[in-house]
Amino acid sequence: MLDAQYKDFGVLGGGSVSKEASGYQMNKNDLHDEISPEVLFEVLENQATLDAVRVFLRSKKLPHSASSWKKMIEMRVEPALSSGAIAWDDLIGIIREAEEHGNKHVRLFYFGADYLDDLRGAITVEAVSAWAKDKGFPGPGEYVFAAYPTNPVVTEVRIGDGEDAYALVVKIARTEYRRKRGVLTEVDGQEVYLAPRVRFRAVDVLKIHQDGLVEVRLNPRSEPPKSYSGTANSVLSQVNGLVETALISELSLSTAKNSFSDLQKTQEVSESFELYETQHKNDRGDRIQSSSQAEQGGILTSSVMTEVIKQFTVGDPEAYCEKVRVSYNFGKVKRINAILSEDINEIIFTAGLSREEYDEVLGAIIKVNSEE
């Protein structure tokens, strides 16, 4: 099932993007001429977090405190750009990393162990370069910054991601729209609601790990119909011709859901994760949703909630957990919210995350999911 919006996939002839697409290539020197500061700042605010900009400015030993995006841009970023202390490429670099992590519907798939030798053979600089050239995509190492592309475009094809030197990353940028509140207006004697449409930049990321794990990270959609399953399949189809996409299977997260909602969970799981919501179902069609206050330590600290879940599940082999919401303890202070939804292979991260945060929480969930 292909979503219609992916059928007119933009192809970057000769590695350049039209001005109409509000984009440019990072390896050119005329960035300033092709994109306005306002658009760049808008995308920076839309994709990155204030914290990411603070960390970057601090690393350059520049003033970095700001309580809002407006203050950050006016008091910190613009002066640093004017003085030459930071460059446009630096801001693009922040966007480039931030747009890959957080605020994503992540769909997990895998290649079976039998295909891993072929996979390693396919993800080499030579093979990926030839495939990308054939498809009209940017080559490895290039980055096309399309701010608000008219059609979805592949902005980056890369081998290597953080500490994973052999992973393949393919990134797709598209323009999405959000509907603002409608205003009652009279048009031709009829009362109608007029709702302004506001554009935003959405980036989808495909990452293939050399151990066979495949992630499709989808920017949340705003307008119905929303088919994350269909969209994930169309993102996967982008690597046709490089790898055998027909051999990709959905990775079920049922083990992780059962483990997170297990009333006698292992110490390792309970030290890293707290459980805030569960949804259980049985084969009679009964469904039970449970939620507890995060401030009170979640479901497992509530004797009432654990008893209710026990009543529903214990002794019924057909009762199962279909959804959980957990928080992951990143370090001593930060908690990262993750929803393992009813769809078997989906994790939803609701906040902006750094690469380090994203990789750690995803790795922790997959580890729990691997423990039979």
Partner 1 sequence: MMFRRRQNADWENRLDTEVGKLRNAETYREVTLNRIKDLVRAPSEAELIRALAKRVSEGKLRVVYRVVSPSTKASLATFKSPLEVPETMLDESTGEEIDIDRYRHVEPVYVSEVVGAK
In DSSP terms, which residues pair with 97 in a beta bridge? none
In whole angstroms, the minimum distance from the beta carbon of 367 to partner 1 comes to 8
- Here the tokens at position 140 are 């490895």
In whole angstroms, the minimum distance from the beta carbon of 191 to partner 1 comes to 18
User: Which one, 114 or 295, has the nearer CB to partner 1?
Assistant: 114
In whole angstroms, the minimum distance from the beta carbon of 210 to partner 1 comes to 10
Reported as type and span, the H/E element at residue 133 is: helix 125-135
152 Cβ contact partners less than 8 Å away, ≥ 6 residues apart: 5, 6, 8, 9, 10, 172, 173, 174
User: Which one, 97 or 250, has the nearer CB to partner 1?
Assistant: 250
Q: Give yes or no for a contact between 369 and 256, defined as CB atoms under 8 angstroms apart.
A: yes
In DSSP terms, which residues pair with 321 in a beta bridge? 280
In whole angstroms, the minimum distance from the beta carbon of 366 to partner 1 comes to 6
User: Which one, 254 or 302, has the nearer CB to partner 1?
Assistant: 254
In whole angstroms, the minimum distance from the beta carbon of 224 to partner 1 comes to 4
User: Which one, 249 or 293, has the nearer CB to partner 1?
Assistant: 249
195 Cβ contact partners less than 8 Å away, ≥ 6 residues apart: 179, 180, 181, 182, 183
In whole angstroms, the minimum distance from the beta carbon of 68 to partner 1 comes to 32
What are the phi and psi torsion angles at 37 (to 5°)? -55, -35
User: Which one, 281 or 335, has the nearer CB to partner 1?
Assistant: 281
* DSSP output for 199-222: EEEEEEEEEE-TTSEEEEEEPPP-
User: Which one, 84 or 224, has the nearer CB to partner 1?
Assistant: 224
In whole angstroms, the minimum distance from the beta carbon of 362 to partner 1 comes to 8
User: Which one, 47 or 231, has the nearer CB to partner 1?
Assistant: 231
Q: Give yes or no for a contact between 353 and 101, defined as CB atoms under 8 angstroms apart.
A: yes
Report the interface residues with partner 1, using CB under 8 A: 110, 112-114, 116, 164, 209, 211-213, 224-230, 233, 246-252, 254, 279, 281, 283-285, 287, 289, 320, 322, 342-344, 359, 362-363, 366-367, 370
d(CA 333, CA 119): 39
d(CA 19, CA 149): 9
Give residue for tokens 């959804």.
Answer: 323
User: Which one, 49 or 279, has the nearer CB to partner 1?
Assistant: 279
Q: How many CA atoms lie within 13 A of 256 on its CB side?
A: 29
In whole angstroms, the minimum distance from the beta carbon of 79 to partner 1 comes to 41
Reported as type and span, the H/E element at residue 270 is: helix 267-272
